[in-house]
Structure 1
Amino acid sequence: MTEIIQDLSLLLLVSLPINLLFHKIKWPSIMGYLVAGVFIGPHAMGWISDPRSVDHLAEIGIILLLFLIGLEFSLSHLLKDVGRILTAGTLQLALTAGALTLIAPMMDLGYGKGLLVGVLAGLSSTAIVLKMITDRAEIDTAQGRVGIGVLLFQDVLVLPLMLLVPLLGGEVPLSPLDLVWALIKSALAVGAVFLASRLLVPKAMHGIARSGTREHLTLFVILLILGTAWVAQHLGLTLAMGAFIAGMILSESDYQHQISLDILPVKDYFSSIFFISVGMLLNLNIFWQDAGVYLLATVLLIALKGGLAAAAVWVARFPLKVAVICGLYLAQTGEFSLILSGLARQSGVLNETHYQGFLIVALLSMLAAPPLIQWANPLLNRWFKERATGAPPESEHTKQLENHVVIAGYGMIGRHLSGVLHEIRIPFIVIERDGEKMKKAMMHQAPVLYGDSTHRDTLKKARLESARMLVVSLPDLKTMQQVVRLARMMNPDLYILVRTSSDSHVETLTQTGANLVIPEEFETSIEIFTRVLREYRIPGNVIEQQIELVRMEGYSMFRGISLNAESLNKFSTYLTATLTESVPLEAADWATGKTVEAMDLKNTTGARLIAVVRKGDVHANPEPGFDLREADLLVVFGRHAMLNKAITRIRKGEETPAPPGNPG
């Protein structure tokens, strides 16, 4: 156990600087992991000299890697253009496998083993290609969509291939019964994935997410990985396949995005265990014996596979330029090829010499993939005599959410705001990590994204870069600061509104980048005095003016600014000034159905009726015989005390003596 921990620590220690270096030069860290594994392995510097510990670490890496890839897998991605992608993927794999099978005798292989090597070589690296496509912002281009579709198609084939590899190329001929049994086991596994993802896992995830704690969700994910792997092993499958199934189950849940974010900080290090351990399996002594042959074989493999992949995509009726770029995307072998070749070695299908030969060529093709992908567009632009514009590719998702509101938190404020935005057709999206609140949002038909607002990937998925406003309503100051700071970095023009529980947070959040911070205590105090004034029938326009002044003074005070005495004196001025009030006439009001003369506002209250608005028409200075009807809007003119009595007169008909003085 001590040696395993020591070796694992060494792998992580090596992966950190490699990850930093390759991130800086914008190349996939997988390349560095493979090279590092070659040098620290038992066949080079010997820092890890026990091959058995290498095998154990490789198996751990395979389990973790397959879970992560399974988590990113979704059948829905294949269904968007399933016809042409199936055509391209099937042709690409069939042509590659067929070509290598025909030349198998030249490699001292039988046709059965040649078919196996051809199938393994036909698979491409999902990890490398997705990394390069994402970094180049080509995920929504035609070549990006087709390339990813073919990769996902290849991922689907991993399930039956992991079952068929021990049979393909074996000394015993593959009987139809064996093939049927392998396909039945694969179908049962897929059926289990579908059943669990649709029926079992969502209910369990909803129940666990109600607690609102990330730890419970993470523990459930670990339990699912280990439990599924254990069940798969008892069904005659491999632990790695069980981990892949666990990832596929979680990929179909509503919480897949948050699970990815929880694993994201250590995702590269999980992957590094596998790729470094694979590099350690490479025997440099075998490579140096025939280095020229292996380099030539790598070049021929890239040319053959890339050309056949391009032909397959072109036959599937995609443009020639797209086909050629996809050919370069798919020209290398992939991580599943390494996994399946290791399984073939363990099963005795491939001997050590054949395994090492395939491993060397596979690793060299993976090392060559990033520069090929990076140089693809400039070379093809020259070839097709097109001028590169440098403009980013147009995204199909840009039109879905743009100039929208992002709501961080589905509490009472988020719920009310989303309801209003829905009614007036303003686009918005809610971010929420509490399972119970997310369920409520879905019940209210609010577009909701399960995730943590403090993560960049969550905000990206909410398309914050193209949003107009961010409304933050979260429980603690530290979280709100993280969200505001990250949002301001991602979108400098974004209007950020924050609701906080304390006045003391206003200055801090404003300095962090918020445009407006609304303290809950302050707004509560405004609501209280508003209700008090309304109870005393203070006219609405007077209340609104007072609210505006209080807010001006309040928010200025929170930022260390004071209004001058002249502004504050307006409080008493507004209470004594001559004002107008608009009073909607309701069916139950005393004045409804009476004439202006019968209402007699001037003599009973001192206020004057200066206009009546009826169905959009303004009747200024109505005649004494003008009938007042339901839904009329009465515009009344007078001082504060007069208006208060006038409203009472209109509503209840109480006659009060007119106050002395002229309202004008």
Structure 2
Amino acid sequence: MQPVVVGLTVVMVLAAVGGVVARMLRQPAILGYILAGIALSFFGRNVDLVAAMGQLGVTFLLFLVGLELPIAQLKKMGRTAVITGLGQIVFTSICGYFIARLLGFNAVTGIYLGIALTFGSTVMVVKLLSEKRDLQSLYGKIATGYLLVQDFVAIGILTVLAGLRPGEVINWVNLLGVATKGALLVGLAVWASDKILPKMLDFLGKSTEVLFVVSIAWCLGIAAAVSWPGIGFSPEIGGFLAGLALAGAVQNLQIMARVRPLRDFFLTLFFVALGANIGWENIGRMAVPAVIFSLFVLIGNPLIVMLILAFQGYGRRVAFLASTAVAQVSEFSLIVIASAARVGYVDRSILGLVGLVGIITMTLSTYLIWYSEHIYKVIGNFLKILEFRHKTEKVKGEERLKNHIVLFGHNRTGKVLKPILEKIGKLVVVDFDPKVVEEIGGVYGDIADYELYDELNLNDAAMIVSTVSDVEDNLQLLSSLGKKRPIAIMLAADTNDAVKLYKAKADYVLIPHTVGGEYLGHLLSTHGIDRNFIRSHGEAQKERLLLGK
């Protein structure tokens, strides 16, 4: 027992050091864990045990994926996300396959390498965009949308691989059998989530401890059941099906919150085991193909996404910034190759190769995403070729606008302001939602796109109103104004952002929470505790809200 404890201690200490170093370098923790695994290969301690425990991490990962399966979000992403996500997968897989063949890999290995190079890391990209406060920008929404589509495709591929037995020949009969079994299991999970599990969870939900234990038992029980030879799927897919069955439960958020730490622990062991499989002795042999594949992921993948977005009519800036999200391989890429190695379709060394590509691309793409705006300012002029189908609506009228009002964002605040501003003067509404632009006849564009400012002739405007809460975008807008400044009204998420905007010479900053408090304070100081007034005022507001839907 003692060697196991000592071995696990070494693993967790190395993982902790790797995670802290990665964090200090603003890198994803996954990178630190993989490097810890490479260091672990020197000690040679319990690598097989770590790999087995790591499989539990993947099982819990897919359990949570099933729990929070965002089908509703996928529907909202619409045409752009689906075309970009699927198009990038197709073109990257084909290009990756031919690169692998040129490097001497066989056809089957080439197919899996091509697939592995397609998936970007949704977790990593969302985290970086959140830190940049760009998650709600136009390019941020496009990037997260097509990455979400990729995640769905990755789960489908994992399901197929999980249903194939080691050494089994791939043919249409086998694939049809796997697809049929997978569809039946998904249908059974959805049926259980609607008919059986809600009542059971309502009873168990009274005790959070029991709910947690039962959820883990359910996950592992389904994982063991589907891995039974008669069904033939892997435990990881069992975890996904178990999560899918609980997705409709009222307690699913509570379950996710409690399972995440357990998942993170075991998933850490998975990435450490992956790094241990690379080993320093294999790096020299893998160096050349790893560098070539990494260059393809860092340069080729963004180029493919830029071209796809350009064909859909997006401008060069949005296309470039959105494309940086796919300049790395994801955790799903590593899991797909690990599954392919398990059934014997690729050699175990390929897992190490993809892991090495992951180390290189995750490291460099972090800086690519973080400094994407600076990079665009350098290469933006060279990307004009991408604007052959630019989707941005031109401002109508042959003469340049003058003494007009520009409203950025037709969101909840902008929707209320629009009819009032139209009465004051000539109004131009700018929004990044094509459906909104088509409906109201505005200008399609992003507030962060400084190339749009000249078209809108902002310096000759009478007033500019931004209902976008991103402080960096608003600061950029204010900095673009000349000495003859129009009235500038900005929206801020909090008081700290408001102070920054006032220092940048905003004339008025709207802080929703502060304004709401001030308005309520005015009502109470004027009318006091007048039940009839408060109720009538509330009814009037409710009517306006209902009419606005």
TM range (shorter): 0.5 to 0.7
Name the CA shift for 1:395/1:129 in 2 (closer, same or farther; >3 Å): farther
Shift of 1:87: 1.3
Shift of 1:78: 0.2
Deviates more, 1:157-166 or 1:215-224: 157-166
- 1:12 corresponding residue in structure 2: 12
Q: Please give the secondary structure, in 1, of the residue aligned with 2:278.
A: coil
Deviates more, 1:259-268 or 1:134-143: 259-268
Shift of 1:17: 4.4
Matches for 1:641-660 after TM superposition, within 5 Å: none
Matched, 1:283 2:279: yes
Q: Which amino acid is 1:359 matched to?
A: G
Identical positions, percent = 21
- 2:97 corresponding residue in structure 1: 101
Matched, 1:33 2:33: yes
Shift of 1:290: 5.3
- 1:321 corresponding residue in structure 2: 317
TM-score w.r.t. the length of structure 1 is: 0.54
Name the CA shift for 1:74/1:466 in 2 (closer, same or farther; >3 Å): farther
Shift of 1:493: 11
Shift of 1:295: 2.4
- 1:136 corresponding residue in structure 2: 132
- 1:310 corresponding residue in structure 2: 306
Shift of 1:94: 0.4
Q: Please give the secondary structure, in 1, of the residue aligned with 2:345.
A: coil
Shift of 1:163: 4.1
| Cα pair 1:101 1:118 within 8 Å, conserved | yes
Gaps of 5+ in 2: 382-407, 416-492, 496-512, 518-528, 530-549
Matched, 1:358 2:354: yes
Shift of 1:88: 1.2
- Tell me, in whole angstroms, the C-alpha distance in 2 between the residues paired with 1:143 and 1:331: 15
| Cα pair 2:212 2:255 within 8 Å, conserved | yes
| Cα pair 1:141 1:394 within 8 Å, conserved | no
Name the CA shift for 1:395/1:253 in 2 (closer, same or farther; >3 Å): farther
- Tell me, in whole angstroms, the C-alpha distance in 2 between the residues paired with 1:395 and 1:187: 41
- Tell me, in whole angstroms, the C-alpha distance in 2 between the residues paired with 1:298 and 1:241: 29
| Cα pair 1:88 1:316 within 8 Å, conserved | no
- 1:222 corresponding residue in structure 2: 216
| Cα pair 1:232 1:242 within 8 Å, conserved | yes
The match for 2:141 among 131, 142, 145 is 145
Matched, 1:342 2:338: yes
Matched, 1:181 2:155: no
Q: Which amino acid is 2:226 matched to?
A: A
Q: CA RMSD in A?
A: 3.6
| Cα pair 1:70 1:247 within 8 Å, conserved | yes
The match for 2:367 among 367, 371, 392 is 371
Name the CA shift for 1:23/1:99 in 2 (closer, same or farther; >3 Å): closer
Gaps of 5+ in 1: 386-392, 401-464, 468-490, 496-547, 549-664
| Cα pair 1:71 1:248 within 8 Å, conserved | yes
Matches for 1:393-542 after TM superposition, within 5 Å: none
TM-score w.r.t. the length of structure 2 is: 0.64
Q: Please give the secondary structure, in 2, of the residue aligned with 1:158.
A: helix
- 1:207 corresponding residue in structure 2: 203
Name the CA shift for 1:397/1:259 in 2 (closer, same or farther; >3 Å): farther
Shift of 1:264: 4.7
Q: Please give the secondary structure, in 1, of the residue aligned with 2:117.
A: helix
**Across the two proteins, how many residue pairs are aligned to each other?**
399
Matches for 1:76-87 after TM superposition, within 5 Å: 76-87=72-83
- Tell me, in whole angstroms, the C-alpha distance in 1 between the residues paired with 2:296 and 2:259: 38
Q: Which amino acid is 1:100 matched to?
A: G
| Cα pair 1:250 1:256 within 8 Å, conserved | yes
Name the CA shift for 1:50/1:227 in 2 (closer, same or farther; >3 Å): closer
Greater relative contact order (CA < 8 Å, ≥ 6 in sequence): 2
- Tell me, in whole angstroms, the C-alpha distance in 1 between the residues paired with 2:20 and 2:2: 28
Shift of 1:92: 0.6
Name the CA shift for 1:72/1:28 in 2 (closer, same or farther; >3 Å): farther
Name the CA shift for 1:399/1:53 in 2 (closer, same or farther; >3 Å): farther
- Tell me, in whole angstroms, the C-alpha distance in 2 between the residues paired with 1:98 and 1:356: 22
Shift of 1:124: 1.9
- Tell me, in whole angstroms, the C-alpha distance in 1 between the residues paired with 2:361 and 2:132: 20
- Tell me, in whole angstroms, the C-alpha distance in 2 between the residues paired with 1:33 and 1:81: 33
Q: Please give the secondary structure, in 2, of the residue aligned with 1:80.
A: helix
Q: Which amino acid is 2:157 matched to?
A: L
Q: Please give the secondary structure, in 2, of the residue aligned with 1:282.
A: helix
Name the CA shift for 1:163/1:65 in 2 (closer, same or farther; >3 Å): closer
Name the CA shift for 1:376/1:303 in 2 (closer, same or farther; >3 Å): same
Name the CA shift for 1:305/1:208 in 2 (closer, same or farther; >3 Å): same
Q: Which amino acid is 2:213 matched to?
A: L
